[in-house]
């Protein structure tokens, strides 16, 4: 469950539109809770193929799983409005991860240990193909405690009814645990002793902790005397995730898998910065400790799933296709008042397959293959060179609702690359300073999406290539500084360094464009950046797609394919 503490006191604050916060990561706008959503008729920012309900607030994806051939997504939801509050676990099912049917909320406040909210958690598949959900509940004293829920009828593949055993809560904040920093249990796994293990996000002072519990029966849980892992000066760890990855295959692994060809991934969502970071390392089975590989960074400057708008993510093992799938929440960049006006807030990112890169140095993500069934009206651009200052429109594609895949070949033409300054150690700052309009040698070049005719509005996703002593450095950016003519918007420019040698392989960029969301995958999924934009002019049929080069050197496009995307069916 994602919470930033910020108290705003007094009637004056309420009249000015500020919120009161509870102890965790979402502002509570008391004066907006009773407002009826207006659900405006003109909805240029609702997505066509990203997952979102018809109305109201959503946040963290919870408990994703596959059961009897049916995919389940449970997620944090406010059934009464489009700002955070009244949180339940909403529930939708799918056979293809693209088209969805909503059901009644699966878990909602009904017992003493969750009476003030059913916050985030995870699903574990127990022996006998029996799903079990561990989730954070808020008790009458506003303590965060861990609860358990089971499906009422295992013969129902849609799992529409859930029950809570009388033993709840099954974990409580004792022995020095901060009752307001004890949340978001992971999927559980079994150790060599056959016992279940799970971790809960927490902190002590500024030290983030993954508190571990063990159980023989999944009902009675005992705290282990040490955390699975901890790191100083990182703050509260929300939505932790811990799972194995294969070192020699793109296939996913069951959460309990171990062995000589297995590494483990530890991911946390940092409440302080609203970013996520992960490390790759070794799980010591004897000591029940996780140790990151040398060189991985335990902080916000470490590796991230996504360098843009992406938070509170959760993975699950899809045993039907032997893959691990990642879900993530994309929140809004508008004001709460704007969210109330449009009647909704938040969407889920396109589910991504996730695996370990062959180098072992990072993870790779790619949109699930099923999303390609929505492609239509393919347009191809033949091999060509983009001259200095070139802007070429990709015609015949629905610019507001598209999937575009382009590759740039620089393998023979990099000798004039701009020199890398040693002080350029922050890719996001570098992208901000060297935006899409700042001329370099090799770059900026890439895509202009959700662009208006004349380019007054545009979101640029692009590369720059620098020479750093004996190697080349590739920078990937998403420049939102001209994404909208509107006001009161977050127009942060995002960036990341791409671990790729452009002399040895081509630079690829795939962007999924969906009205107010642009999910971009660089280097075949080694860097992902999600941008949230709200154009005023470039909406519906007035949104255009371009490929551009604002560098001084010609850039070779080796391939470009683009598709209009059909609307997914999401029944409410």
| Beta-bridge mates of residue 511 | 404, 520
What are all long-range contacts of 292-296, with beta carbons under 8 Å and residues at least 24 apart?
Answer: 292/266, 293/263, 293/360
| Residue from 201, 221, 86, 84 nearest 136 by CA | 201
Q: Is the dihedral of CA 100, 376, 514, 381 positive or negative?
A: positive
What are the angstrom distances between the C-alpha of 391 and each of 283, 386, 558? 50, 8, 16
Pairing of the two strands 311-318 and 323-330: antiparallel
Q: Is 362 left (phi over 0), alpha (psi -120 to 50) or beta?
A: beta
What are the angstrom distances between the C-alpha of 494 and each of 67, 214, 217, 251, 413? 37, 40, 45, 30, 27
- In sequence order, the 6+-apart residues with CB closer than 8 A to the CB of 430 are 424, 475, 495
Q: Is the dihedral of CA 47, 239, 125, 172 positive or negative?
A: negative
CB 508 within 8 A of CB 407: yes
| Beta-bridge mates of residue 272 | none
Pairing of the two strands 442-451 and 459-468: antiparallel
10 Å Cβ neighbour count for 254? 16
What CA–CA distance (Å, rounded) separates 435 from 448? 12
Structure tokens at 42: 């003109």
- In sequence order, the 6+-apart residues with CB closer than 8 A to the CB of 391 are 448, 455, 546, 547, 548
- In sequence order, the 6+-apart residues with CB closer than 8 A to the CB of 240 are 184, 186, 199, 200, 201, 210, 266, 267, 268, 269
- In sequence order, the 6+-apart residues with CB closer than 8 A to the CB of 28 are 19, 20, 21, 22, 83, 84, 85
10 Å Cβ neighbour count for 263? 15
Alpha helices in 326-426 (DSSP H): 336-342
Residue 30: exposure state from Cβ atoms within 10 A (0-12, 13-18, ≥19)? middle
Q: Cα-flanking dihedrals φ and ψ of residue 321, to 5°?
A: -130, 15
Active site residue 60: yes
What CA–CA distance (Å, rounded) separates 166 from 336? 38
Catalytic site residue from 60, 139, 479, 524: 60
Helix (H, G, I), strand (E, B) or coil at 179: coil
Q: How many helices and strands (H and E) does the chain possess?
A: 4, 41
Helix (H, G, I), strand (E, B) or coil at 531: strand
- In sequence order, the 6+-apart residues with CB closer than 8 A to the CB of 153 are 159, 161
Active site residues per annotation: 60
């Amino acid at each position: 469950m994602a919470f930033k503490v910020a108290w705003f006191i007094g009637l004056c604050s309420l009249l000015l539109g500020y919120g009161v916060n509870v102890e965790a990561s979402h502002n509570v706008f008391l004066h907006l809770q009773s407002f009826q959503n207006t659900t405006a008729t003109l909805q240029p920012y609702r997505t066509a193929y990203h997952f979102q309900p018809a109305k109201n607030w959503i946040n963290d994806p919870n408990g994703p799983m596959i059961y009897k051939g049916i995919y389940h997504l449970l997620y944090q939801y406010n059934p009464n409005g489009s700002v955070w509050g009244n949180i339940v676990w909403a529930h939708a099912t799918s056979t293809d991860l693209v088209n969805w049917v909503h059901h009644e909320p699966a878990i909602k406040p009904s017992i003493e240990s969750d009476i003030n909210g059913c916050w985030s958690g995870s699903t574990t598949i127990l022996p006998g193909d029996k799903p079990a959900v561990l989730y954070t509940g808020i008790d009458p004293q506003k303590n965060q405690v861990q609860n358990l829920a089971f499906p009422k009828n295992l013969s129902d593949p849609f799992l529409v009814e859930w029950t809570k055993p009388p033993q709840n809560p099954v974990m409580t904040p004792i022995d020095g645990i901060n009752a307001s920093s004890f949340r978001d249990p992971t999927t559980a796994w079994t150790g060599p002793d056959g016992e279940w293990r799970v971790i809960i996000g927490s902190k002590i002072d500024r030290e983030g902790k993954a508190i571990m519990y063990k159980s023989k029966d999944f009902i009675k849980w005992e705290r282990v005397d040490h955390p699975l892992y901890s790191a100083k000066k990182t703050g509260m760890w929300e939505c932790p995730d811990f799972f194995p990855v294969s070192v020699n295959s793109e296939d996913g692994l069951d959460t309990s898998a171990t062995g000589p060809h297995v590494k483990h991934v530890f991911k946390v969502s940092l409440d302080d910065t609203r970013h996520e970071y992960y490390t790759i390392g070794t799980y010591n089975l004897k000591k029940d400790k996780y140790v990151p590989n040398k060189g991985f960074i335990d902080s916000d400057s470490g590796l991230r799933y996504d360098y843009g708008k992406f938070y509170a993510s959760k993975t699950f093992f899809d045993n039907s296709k032997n893959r691990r799938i990642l879900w993530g929440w994309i929140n809004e960049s508008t004001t709460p008042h704007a969210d109330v006006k449009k009647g909704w807030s938040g969407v889920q990112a396109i589910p991504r397959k996730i695996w370990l890169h062959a180098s072992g140095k990072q993870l790779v993500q790619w949109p699930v293959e099923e999303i390609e069934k929505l492609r239509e009206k393919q347009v191809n651009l033949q091999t060509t060179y983009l001259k200095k200052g070139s802007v070429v429109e990709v015609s015949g594609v629905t610019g507001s609702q598209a999937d575009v895949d382009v590759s740039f070949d620089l393998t023979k033409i990099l000798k004039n690359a701009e020199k890398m300054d040693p002080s350029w150690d922050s890719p996001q700052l570098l992208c901000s300073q060297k935006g899409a309009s700042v001329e370099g040698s090799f770059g900026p070049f890439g895509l202009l999406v959700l662009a208006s005719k004349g380019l007054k509005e545009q979101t640029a996703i692009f590369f720059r290539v620098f020479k750093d002593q004996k190697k080349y450095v590739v920078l990937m950016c998403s420049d939102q500084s001209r994404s909208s003519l509107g006001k009161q918007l977050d127009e942060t420019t995002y960036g990341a360094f791409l671990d790729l040698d452009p002399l040895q392989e081509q630079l690829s960029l795939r962007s999924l464009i969906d009205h107010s969301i642009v999910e971009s995958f660089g280097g075949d999924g080694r860097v992902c950046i999600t941008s949230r934009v709200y154009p005023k002019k470039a909406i519906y049929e007035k949104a255009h797609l371009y490929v551009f080069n604002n560098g001084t050197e010609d850039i070779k496009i080796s391939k470009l394919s683009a598709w209009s995307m059909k609307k997914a069916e999401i029944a409410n």
